Amino acid sequence: MNTAPPDPRAGAGASPEARLPYAGVRVVEFTHMVMGPTCGLLLADLGAEVIKVEPIEGDGTRRLLGSGAGFFPAFNRNKKSIALDLKQPEGREAARRLAATADVVSENFKPGTMARLGLDYASLRPLNPRLVYVSHKGFLPGPYEDRTALDEVVQMMGGLAYMTGRPGDPLRAGASVNDIMGGMFGAIGAMAALRRRAQTGEGCEVQAALFENNVFLVTQHMMQFAATGRAADPMPARISAWGVYDVFTVKDGAQIFLAVVSDRQWAAFCQAFALADLAADPRLATNNDRVRAREWLLPRLRGHLAGYAADELAAAFEAHELPFAPIARPQDLFDDPHLNASGGFGQVRMNDGHLSKVPLLPFTLDGARPGIRLQPPAAGEHGDALLRELGYGEAEIAGLKARGIAGGG
């Protein structure tokens, strides 16, 4: 167990791994799916030793199909794995020994599960008063805390699906935004608790939740109502704050997002596309004027731009420092020239063994993105070494494996 706070000022002569800010911090995670593993991923990428406790058959996330097929390699790099049967007393005892060595324990099981296993904060704190214990749940304590939650559930009840879909047609966001951000807030909570531990010498319990995360995401819409008394319209039906801020269908049916959000940009846009009459029109003098004129202005612009190829528009907008975006599909991003040139990808081992590009954390430390030190582990891959570290002899390890209490190697 690490007894000192991580030192981000490690000397320049230290190894790249040792210079990561959470090197020397041990995290033991009892997690599955996306939310809990995201918390561990962030801490692992930042240098922590993250040990994933899995069932003997391995985390069920490894076997998901369809939209879940990439979950395990996406959220479990830079981790070690130990496989234990927590239904057996010996398996729980091994897990307790391991948790006692941790700086952080992270879990995302249903409320009450960890208490039944003797692995909740109340059970582990006497073994390790410095422990930071992170629980990822559907809801923080309150009237909803025992409900079963999913990302889509809280998007519906938390206003996000209403804002994403068209009026009368609520629609979940196109990514697991609450699972991922909920895990991020769990990691931020762990970081805050580690910092407080450095000041007080004591650990604490951290809770993060899907529903509260979702409410945080829609704060801007709640506060729009608080400020104006007017409810926010769903995004597809909203009155834009900008005169030009739309997807345009252009030559050969291609689509591109174009934006003109300031008076300077409006002048540059009109010059670039030979729209002198619009530039001189007093009805369009300011952005707010253009917002009020959208009903007739947008059809005019759509007709004027329809003959351009999307690439032509992109080049012109870039040359004039105007905001634009191609309409990319997720699979297109593997070939994105910026991501490839700027170190945005690592190489990760997929469930079937082949290597794929994977996005790295979206920030740099000293100009570099935190990288991949360990590939997503096989179930129980590091179990024998970890059990030895916990004081188990070879005969004991062999016995645990023979009885199906421990797995892997």
Tens of pLDDT along 303-323? Answer: 999 999 999 999 999 999 999
Q: Do 316 and 353 belong together in one domain?
A: no
Q: Do 88 and 172 belong together in one domain?
A: yes
Burial label for 200, CB within 10 Å (0-12, 13-18, 19+), is exposed
Q: Is the dihedral of CA 370, 374, 377, 382 positive or negative?
A: negative
The C-alpha atoms of residue 126 and residue 222 are separated, in whole angstroms, by: 42
Q: Please determine, for residue 125, whether its predicted confidence score (pLDDT) is greater than 80.
A: yes
* 326-372 per-position pLDDT tens digit: 999 999 999 999 999 999 999 999 999 999 999 999 999 999 999 99
Burial letters 88-124, b for 16+ CB under 10 A, else e: beebbebbbbbbbbbbbbbbbbebeebeebbbbbeeb
What's the total number of domains in the chain? 2
Does residue 7 belong to any structural domain of this protein?
no
At 346 the pLDDT is 98
Q: Do 203 and 260 belong together in one domain?
A: no
Helix, strand, coil distribution of the chain in percent, nearest 5: 45, 15, 40
At 172 the pLDDT is 96
Q: Do 190 and 70 belong together in one domain?
A: yes
pLDDT bracket for residue 90 (50, 70, 90) = very high
* 7-28 per-position pLDDT tens digit: 333 334 445 666 899 999 999 9
Model's pTM, two decimal places? Answer: 0.91
Burial label for 143, CB within 10 Å (0-12, 13-18, 19+), is exposed
pLDDT bracket for residue 4 (50, 70, 90) = very low
Q: Do 213 and 70 belong together in one domain?
A: yes
At which of 307, 330, 353 does a domain end? 330
At which of 274, 309, 330 does a domain end? 330
In this prediction, residues 93-114 reach a mean pLDDT of 97
**Domain that includes residue 185, residue range:** 26-217+343-407
pLDDT bracket for residue 237 (50, 70, 90) = confident
In this prediction, residues 270-290 reach a mean pLDDT of 97
At 16 the pLDDT is 61
Q: Do 321 and 359 belong together in one domain?
A: no
Does residue 112 belong to any structural domain of this protein?
yes
At 10 the pLDDT is 38
Length of the chain: 409
DSSP E strands in 108-169: the ranges are 132-137
Does residue 18 belong to any structural domain of this protein?
no
Q: Do 279 and 403 belong together in one domain?
A: no
306 by DSSP, 3-state: which?
coil
At 15 the pLDDT is 56
In this prediction, residues 393-402 reach a mean pLDDT of 97
Distance set, CA 245 to CA 196, 257, 269, 271 (Å): 44, 7, 13, 18
* 132-151 per-position pLDDT tens digit: 999 999 999 999 999 999 99
Does residue 402 belong to any structural domain of this protein?
yes
CA nearest to 43, candidates 13, 77, 9: 77
Token look-up 């007017």 returns 230
Token look-up 């992109």 returns 314
Q: Do 182 and 267 belong together in one domain?
A: no
**Residue-averaged pLDDT of the chain:** 94
Q: Do 68 and 195 belong together in one domain?
A: yes
Q: Do 204 and 244 belong together in one domain?
A: no
The C-alpha atoms of residue 164 and residue 215 are separated, in whole angstroms, by: 14
The residues facing 106 across adjacent strands are 29, 134
At which of 309, 330, 351 does a domain end? 330
Q: State percent of the chain over pLDDT 70.
A: 96
Does residue 223 belong to any structural domain of this protein?
no
Q: Do 326 and 349 belong together in one domain?
A: no
DSSP E strands in 250-370: the ranges are 255-260, 324-326, 345-349, 355-359
The C-alpha atoms of residue 8 and residue 145 are separated, in whole angstroms, by: 37
For residue 252, which amino acid is it?
D
Does residue 11 belong to any structural domain of this protein?
no
Q: Do 143 and 290 belong together in one domain?
A: no
260: CATH: 3.30.1540.10
**279 neighbors 338 (Cβ within 8 angstroms):** no
The C-alpha atoms of residue 105 and residue 114 are separated, in whole angstroms, by: 11
Does residue 16 belong to any structural domain of this protein?
no
101: CATH: 3.40.50.10540
Does residue 51 belong to any structural domain of this protein?
yes
List of residues 6+ apart from 353 with CB closer than 8 A: none
In this prediction, residues 30-55 reach a mean pLDDT of 98
At 127 the pLDDT is 94
The C-alpha atoms of residue 209 and residue 39 are separated, in whole angstroms, by: 12
At 71 the pLDDT is 96
At 229 the pLDDT is 97
